[in-house]
Amino acid sequence: MIEKIKQTADYIRSKAGNVPETAIILGTGLGALVDHITEKKYIPYTEIPNFPVSTVEGHSGNLIFGRLGNRQVIAMQGRFHYYEGYDMKEVTFPVRVMKQLGVKTLFVSNAAGGMNKEFRVGDIMIITDHINLFPENPLRGKNYEELGPRFPAMTEAYDKRLVAAAEEIAAKKGIRVMKGVYVGTQGPTFETPAEYEYFRIIGGDAVGMSTVPEVIVANHAGMKVFGVSVITDLGGKDVTDVPTHEEVQKAAEAAQPYMMEIMRELIEREG
C-alpha cells in the first residue's frame, strides 16, 4: 500500500508540479466551485496510476489543480462511494495520496438527508462531528505507523476553529447555516422512516452515504478537516417526502451558491 501511495503521488507531482497544502473533495452541492478555480490543470482519474475510477452519474472524475482566490488548491471532482462497490481502502486512497503530497487541510462536502426537526430542505449544515455506521472502518487491518497511529483519536475530527470561522463568514454574508452531526451509512438505499428516527435519537442531525471514511483517514494522517452538508431531503416518522436522486441533485444545486460563498472565503482565509 505504501508503495502504491508513493507511486501515485510521484505521478501527480510530475504532472502538477508544486502541490498545494489545501485539498477539496467536491461532493454534491459544491461542484460549481470548480468554476471559481483559475489557472486550472486537470488530471483525469483514468490517467492516475492506482486510482479507482468513478462510475456514478453526475460524478465526473478529475483531479484539478489551480488557484482559488489567493490559495493554491487541489480538488477532487468526483469521489468514490462505498455503495458503488469500492472497498474502504479504495474509497480513501486519494486522501492517502493527498497526505503524501503534503496536504494539511481537507475540505469536504456532501448531500445529506435531515433528521433534525429544525432543518429545511436547502439548508447548509456545518459538520461538527460524525457517527460512523459504515460496516467497515477504513483503518481496519495492518497499521502503517508512517501513515498514522494504530488507535487514532477522533475527538476533534472536524476542526473547531474552521467551524467557528465558517459560522462567522456565514453570519457576515447573511447565510443561514445549521451545525450538526453527520451519520455516515453505506447506502445506496435512502432510509426508512424508522431509520431516520433512529439516527436522530442516537444523536444524528443529517445522514449521508459518504465523507466519514475520508474524514477518518484524513484524521489518521493528521490533517485538519472541514465538512459541510447540503440538506437535500428530510426524513423521519412524520415526513411523507420520498427522496429521489433527482430531488437530491436539485436541492443541492439550489443551495450551491451559498455553500460556495462560505467555502470560498473559508479556504481563502484558512485553507
Q: Which residues bind ligand HPA (CB under 6 A)?
A: 111-113, 190-191, 207-209, 232-233, 235, 243, 248
Burial degree of 245 (CB within 10 A; 0-12, 13-18, 19+): middle
Comparing C-alpha atoms, which of 270, 193, 271, 255 is closest to residue 31? Answer: 255
Closest to ligand HPA by CB, 7 vs 249, is 249
Closer CB to ligand HPA, residue 68 or residue 112?
112
CB of 229 to ligand HPA, least distance (A): 8
- Residue 22 CB, shortest distance to ligand HPA, in Å, is 25
Q: How far is the CB of 196 from ligand HPA (least distance, A)?
A: 7
Q: Which is nearer to ligand HPA, 95 or 212 (CB)?
A: 212
Cell of 112: 445529506
Q: Which is nearer to ligand HPA, 215 or 221 (CB)?
A: 215
Closest by CA to 216, choosing from 125, 141, 155, is 155
- 222: how many CB neighbours lie within 10 A of its CB? 12
For residue 248, the minimal CB distance to ligand HPA (Å) is 5
Return the residue nearest ligand HPA (CB atom): 113
CB of 164 vs ligand HPA, minimal distance in Å: 26
Give the residue with the Cβ less far from ligand HPA, 247 or 268. 247
Minimum CB separation of residue 137 from ligand HPA in Å reads 19
Smallest distance, Å, CB 251 to ligand HPA? 9
C-alpha span between 191 and 112 (Å, rounded): 11
Count how many residues are written for the chain: 271
Q: How far apart are CA 181 and CA 134, in angstroms?
A: 15
Q: Give Cα 197 distance to the centre of its chain.
A: 24
Q: What are phi and psi of 130, to 5 degrees?
A: -140, 165
Nearer to ligand HPA, 129 or 233 (CB): 233
Which ranges of the chain does DSSP label H, i.e. alpha helix? 2-16, 88-101, 160-173, 193-201, 212-220, 245-270
94/243 with CB nearer ligand HPA: 243
3-state secondary structure of 112: strand
